[in-house]
Amino acid sequence: MNKIALRLFLLVFFLPLAFAANAQGQLPEWALGPFVRPESVNPIISPNAESLFFDPMSKQKIAWEASDVFNPAAVVSKNKIYVLYRSEDRSGVGIGKRTSRIGLAESNDGIKMKRNPEPVLYPDEDNQKAYEWPGGCEDPRIAVTEEGLYVMLYTQWNRNIFRLAVSTSKDLKHWTKHGAAFSKAYNGKFQDLKCKSGSIVTKIENGKQVIAKINGRYMMYWGERFMNIATSADLINWEPALNANGDLDLIIKPRKRYFDSDLTECGPPAIVTDKGILVLYNGKNRGDAERDTNYVANTYSAGQVLFDLRNPSKVIARLDEPFFVPTAPFEKSGQYPSGTVFIEGLVYFKKKWFLYYGCADSRVAVAIYDPAAKK
Instruction: Kindly state the DSSP code that residue 4 receives in the 8-state scheme.
Output: H
pLDDT at 209: 97
pLDDT on residue 336: 83
Q: Is residue 34 part of a domain?
A: no
Rounded-to-integer distance, Cα 200 and Cα 141, Å: 8
Q: Is residue 7 part of a domain?
A: no
The answer to the question of residue 47 being in a domain is no
Residue 299 DSSP code: -
Each residue of 109-133: pLDDT tens digit? 999 999 999 999 999 999 999 999 9
Is 23 part of a structural domain of the chain?
no
Ramachandran bin of 339, using left for φ above 0, alpha for ψ from -120 to 50, beta for the remaining angles:
left
* Among candidate residues 357, 275, 288, 360, the one with its CA nearest the CA of residue 324: 357
Domain contains 70: yes
Cα–Cα separations (whole angstroms), residue 256 to 259, 286, 291: 8, 8, 6
pLDDT tens-digit readout, 23-69: 445 899 999 999 999 999 999 999 999 999 999 999 999 999 999 99
Residue 80 lies in a domain: yes
pTM confidence score? 0.92
Amino acid at 195: C
What CATH number should be reported for the domain holding residue 173? 2.115.10.20
**Domain span including residue 365:** 55-369
pLDDT for residue 4 is more than 50: no
Q: Is residue 11 part of a domain?
A: no
Number of domains the chain contains: 1
Give domain status of residue 6, yes or no: no
Q: What is the mean pLDDT of residues 347-365?
A: 97
The amino acid occupying position 145 is T
Q: What is the mean pLDDT of the chain?
A: 93
Over residues 245-281, the pLDDT tens digits come to 999 999 999 999 999 999 999 999 999 999 999 999 9
- Candidate from 15-29, 144-158, 195-209, 247-261 with smallest mean pLDDT: 15-29
